[in-house]
Structure 1
Amino acid sequence: MNQKLIIEFPNSITVSIKREDLIHPFISGNKFRKLKYNLLQAKEEQNETLLTFGGAYSNHIAAVAFAGKEKGFKTIGIIRGDELRDKISENPTLLFAQNCGMQLEFVSREEYRLKNETSFLENLEKQFGDFYLIPEGGTNELAIKGCQEILTEEDSDFDFVCCSVGTGGTIAGIINSALPHQKVLGFPALKGDFLKDEIRIFVQNENWELITAYHFGGYGKVNPDLIAFINQFYDKNKIPLDPIYTAKMVFGVIDMIDKDYFPAHSKILLIHTGGIQGIKGMNMKLKNKQLPIIDIHV
């Protein structure tokens, strides 16, 4: 999707937003890109079942569930937190996935940490039979192949390409397809810069940097300043931002412009990676804490 909003800043800096969130109503943004070639591979292997992992409000779980329904796969979601077993009706993401036909299996957080262990996966295969495995967050080589298609020739004029970072697959694809004159900036939703090593597995270029100052306390964490920013941005531009990923990236870029990080005349492209489905769940948590909610209409 190449619908872009252009915002002008001092020093002739311009910011545009690539609306990847508009690709598909339920498999939006980077999830569509990551699943594209994995679904084709599963079909080629004549596998009828997709199995994957995720947390309570996972965009990935929601996307895989709908993709399975749309493409004719059985889907199994291994969900982190066995305390959620009896709370599906209270969780909009898990309820959506279940309504799409996904079989939800809840495991303790201790068990969930074993999700990459061969013995754990073998036990899942004994329990569920043969399946096509999609990793947590969807990141693998086929996912990166899909994410390499985010940038197109229309984006060649930009000096900086910015995106949020979860498991590192999306930014890896963007790094691989960015042009030599472009610098890719990633804004992790998690604390720390440990993702650098994960990203380097899939990339050869050095045209990138992780900006680690805008995680707002860590994955899934927000504060009133970020909520106010999301609401103000929507009021002004009519573009919804999700609080886990894209909002933190957009907030960071604007703050960095104010702090003169970018040279004059820079052309900056922001990648909107979707994730809007998570707003309902976040608002439930905010209401429970008697905090301001995200007031946007999608």
Structure 2
Amino acid sequence: MCCFSDVYLRRQCIVHTANCMLSIGTGFMLSFPAVLNPDILSPNGTGIHATPDQASWIAGTNGISGIVGFCFVPYVMQVYGRKFVHIALNLFYVLGFLILALATNIPCLYAARIIQGIPMCAVFITSIMVGEYSHPKRRGYFITIKKTAVATGALMCHSLALCWTWKQIAAFAVVPNSLAILFTLTWPESPSFLALTGKYEECDKSHMWLYGDSLKRVVPACFAIMSEIFPLEHKGIGTGATGVVFTILYSIVMKCTPLMIEKTGVEGTFGIYALHVIVGLLILYFILNETKDKTLQQIENEIKGRKQPNFNDYYLNGKPLICTE
């Protein structure tokens, strides 16, 4: 009772219910050939008959369009936002299942599976929404439930095949993704995306809707700090990460191996492997020594040659935070 009294938890659950519905649709899509192929390959099927080669292509065609979705969805998500992409992915599934339910020939089956392939791989990319729409304490639960939802959809598809035809299952499979679209229309755009695009007012409203606290002063300050980042005068680990040090060490290995064999008399691969292990340990020591006591963000900034942001200038030296008001 205590958990459901938290309005912000309920709102986060609404977001991730829509996300899980998308995963359930993925489970239906992945399992559907196991229901479809026995019927279209049987002479006593429901009307559409296919050869073994055609049935194989119908089952695997979605993998081709899946590659397209996997490549383009991240870009579209960064340009148009998480909410737009989530609705679009569900629409692809709905359209595909509607075509399957109304199909009368083999080309219709091909078209449906190609359309459904676009969100097939992209559904894993939407896991980023778990991090952007949930409290850190609950992200583990939500991501686990999201992955379980795929198996749930597959189980439902196989279970319904005991009493329904594949066309009836296709018609029923429209429901989860349609519900996902309706749920998605009720929640705002991701605060992270809005902040990334400079829409601070909308970002603050979205964050308030999800978590109940304001970001009106913090977000603009963070972006003001990032705007002051310049290349470092001393690259540090950044230079090492470019591969220069490792290239030098590799050259040393290639130069020293013949000399080592000549002086020690150790021939064959043992001596080479031993030297490689030694050099590998040296490289590992170099990496650990250069990155100790540093966060991942600090390491990334050094690799990219960016100035480390100093938040003390904004919080401790009397400078006011930049505000959108």
Q: TM-score normalised to the size of structure 2?
A: 0.22
Query: Between Structure 1 and Structure 2, which shows a larger proportion of strand residues?
Result: 1
- Bigger Rg, structure 1 or 2: 2
Query: Between Structure 1 and Structure 2, which shows a larger proportion of helix residues?
Result: 2
Q: TM-score normalised to the size of structure 1?
A: 0.23
